[in-house]
Structure 1
Amino acid sequence: MSSEKIAILVDSGCDVPETLAQADNLYVIPLKIIYQDAEYTDKLDITAEEIYDRLPTEIPKTSLPEGAYIQTVFEQIVADGYEKVLAITISSGLSGTFNSIRLVAENFPMLDTFMFDTKNIGIGAGAHAIRAAELIDSGSSFDAITKILANGVKNSKIFFSVATLEYLQKGGRIGLVSSIVGNMLNLNPIISCNDDGIYYTVAKSRGRKKSLEKSVKLVKDFVGNHQKVRLFVAHGNAAKEALILVDALKAAIPQAIDVLYGQISPALVVHTGPGLIGIGAHILD
């Protein structure tokens, strides 16, 4: 364990695993989910399943946490005796959370805060928080950890196969993803985040099965000859397919140290709809 008092701060869009979310030094700033008649806090008082059930009648909106809430989290970090903060967020190209946290952090000069824009989303972003926690546990210094994080943005990659582009379009998160002919030709786009942290189309395959098979190949190509990698499979109401892909990834990349598996956060559900599958890897060597 590091001798320095280091806290990790993430937003709920990072989808960190529950085991890490329960750690004493992990603080989560939840995104907000807004319906016409009510407002909810991501992962706290609404589930992904509840959003799926309501999608046929209303697609909610998401918003940033209020500055006052972020302020309260920083105050708690100080009260808990931490001196340094690793603030890890989903891509600033997809959300204003990074900037909101940065602005509040300026009010806490007593904390040495490292702002880290992952240029990624979901567990592709959360993988960096997992890595940071491991480095803290191994005794790495704050300066060493910030250097590893800063140099490792390109080491985490996730590829998404979505059942429909409807929700990305309606939520204004379509980015550089082309959607003109996809539905007509049964072309399933595989989406990832580019170097600027914006969605773009990596490949297109005809039909769901081929799209998922192509995603596995993309992850395998990304990993290459690296021997220390962590794999992840995230899904949006597609558990059966996701579990099949866990086995497919293990077979394709047997050197992986582990495979993280889970449902995406309610806030991400809003923008992707049902049927999302995300698979990827974090290169650790």
Structure 2
Amino acid sequence: MEKIALLTDSACDIDEETINKYNINILSFRIIYRSGEYIDKVEITPKEVYDNMKVEIPKSSLPSMEDMEMVYKRLEEENYTHVIAIVISSGLSGTYNALKIVSEKHKNLTTYIYDSKSTSVGEGIILKECGKLIEQGRNFQQIVDTIPKIKSNMHFFFVFGTLEYARKGGRIGKIPGTIGEILDIKPIVYFDDSYGVCCTYDKVRGRKRSLNKMVDIGKKFLDKNQCEVYIVHGNAEEDADRVHNMILQLPNIENIHMIGQISPIVGVYSGPGTVGICYFTM
């Protein structure tokens, strides 16, 4: 009989209830300062990272292969037979390739690693839906076959407070930077499905308009389908609340999930002021 484990990295953002309910295993990134390094979401919180960014912008490193080995050994000891791993975009991190190397050493576990070509709730929603399918009794292959459909139903957009951190971290992808920032042009950003890097969906002038535009974009999904909506932010709770209140006025909202702070591993590059909205069509 199949026993399926769910695995992800700490760039994933989803609520603790979901993590506990579906026993999601998390591989932790490291947040690195000149004074030392910290385990993401264990030894340092998103708020601490954002608050300290004016003093020092940390670096990050992917989960160690030793940590991956330890998780796989534990899953074998717990008599799991299969692993479904949903990981941060390979366009942002080497986690996908490292985990693939480790998983191939563990022949007793049949592993499927899915490159989310995204991050944050872009990973979390897929994991949550996989957890539901396991709970419903679907087998490994049925769940694996369903993941691309789950992915296609997610529409994730976000706005940075500033492009400074993405530019310094080299993770700005295909977003035009300096000129637009001088003119207060705020790009609405999404992840490209081919390469998993940040691209510009639209551009507006000013912070308030950019947040309003993300809500307007959602209308084209909500006009046709019921949606669950997920909202994340980087030390921008007030703006996240404002977006939440605007979305409440729209039709076909199944649920709105206020996930809270974006993972520090994402926050290192997105910076404070980031607000993200994911429309998940039902």
2:112 pairs with 1:114: yes
Are the equivalent residues in 2 in contact too, given 1:116–1:150 (CA < 8 A)?
no
- Superposed CA deviations along residues 206-242 of structure 1, whole A, max 9, x for unmatched, are 1111101101112222455123x32100000111111
Q: Which residue of 1 aligns with 2:155?
A: 157
TM-score, scaled to structure 2 = 0.95
Q: Cα 1:22–1:53, aligned 2, differ >3 Å: closer, same or farther?
A: same
Quote the Cα distance in structure 2 between the aligned partners of 1:6 and 1:133. 10
Q: Which residue of 2 aligns with 1:146?
A: 144
Cα deviation, residue 283, structure 1: 2.3
Amino acid at match of 1:52: Y
Are the equivalent residues in 1 in contact too, given 2:50–2:234 (CA < 8 A)?
no
Q: Which residue of 2 aligns with 1:188?
A: 186
Cα deviation, residue 167, structure 1: 0.3
Cα deviation, residue 253, structure 1: 4.0
Quote the Cα distance in structure 1 between the aligned partners of 2:177 and 2:251. 31
Q: Which residue of 2 aligns with 1:213?
A: 212
What SS does the aligned partner of 2:254 have? coil
Cα deviation, residue 16, structure 1: 2.3
Are the equivalent residues in 2 in contact too, given 1:89–1:98 (CA < 8 A)?
yes
Q: Identical aligned pairs, as a percentage?
A: 37
Are the equivalent residues in 1 in contact too, given 2:184–2:206 (CA < 8 A)?
yes
2:33 pairs with 1:35: yes
Q: Cα 1:236–1:72, aligned 2, differ >3 Å: closer, same or farther?
A: same
Quote the Cα distance in structure 2 between the aligned partners of 1:106 and 1:78. 14
Quote the Cα distance in structure 2 between the aligned partners of 1:55 and 1:81. 43
1:223-238 matched pairs, under 5 angstroms: 223-227=222-226, 229-238=227-236
2:98 aligned to which of 97, 100, 121: 100
Quote the Cα distance in structure 2 between the aligned partners of 1:245 and 1:66. 37
Are the equivalent residues in 1 in contact too, given 2:229–2:257 (CA < 8 A)?
yes
Quote the Cα distance in structure 1 between the aligned partners of 2:78 and 2:133. 20
Are the equivalent residues in 2 in contact too, given 1:246–1:259 (CA < 8 A)?
no
Amino acid at match of 2:171: R
Quote the Cα distance in structure 1 between the aligned partners of 2:249 and 2:119. 25
Are the equivalent residues in 2 in contact too, given 1:8–1:25 (CA < 8 A)?
yes
Quote the Cα distance in structure 1 between the aligned partners of 2:171 and 2:275. 17
Are the equivalent residues in 1 in contact too, given 2:166–2:270 (CA < 8 A)?
yes
Amino acid at match of 2:34: Q
Q: In structure 2, list runs of 5 or more residues that go unmatched.
A: none
Are the equivalent residues in 1 in contact too, given 2:228–2:253 (CA < 8 A)?
no
Amino acid at match of 2:161: A
1:173 aligned to which of 163, 171, 174: 171
Quote the Cα distance in structure 2 between the aligned partners of 1:261 and 1:214. 20
Quote the Cα distance in structure 2 between the aligned partners of 1:258 and 1:83. 34
Cα deviation, residue 280, structure 1: 1.3
1:48 aligned to which of 46, 49, 61: 46
- Superposed CA deviations along residues 89-113 of structure 1, whole A, max 9, x for unmatched, are 1111111111111111001111111
Q: Cα 1:12–1:206, aligned 2, differ >3 Å: closer, same or farther?
A: same
Amino acid at match of 1:71: E
Bigger mean CA offset, 84-93 vs 152-161: 152-161
Quote the Cα distance in structure 2 between the aligned partners of 1:26 and 1:47. 19
What SS does the aligned partner of 1:174 have? coil
Q: Which residue of 1 aligns with 2:198?
A: 199
The alignment yields a C-alpha RMSD, in angstroms, of 1.5
Cα deviation, residue 44, structure 1: 0.3
What SS does the aligned partner of 1:69 have? helix
Cα deviation, residue 153, structure 1: 2.5
1:57-76 matched pairs, under 5 angstroms: 57-76=55-74
Cα deviation, residue 189, structure 1: 1.0
What SS does the aligned partner of 2:76 have? helix
2:17 pairs with 1:12: no
Bigger mean CA offset, 175-184 vs 204-213: 175-184
- Superposed CA deviations along residues 125-145 of structure 1, whole A, max 9, x for unmatched, are 211001001111111111111
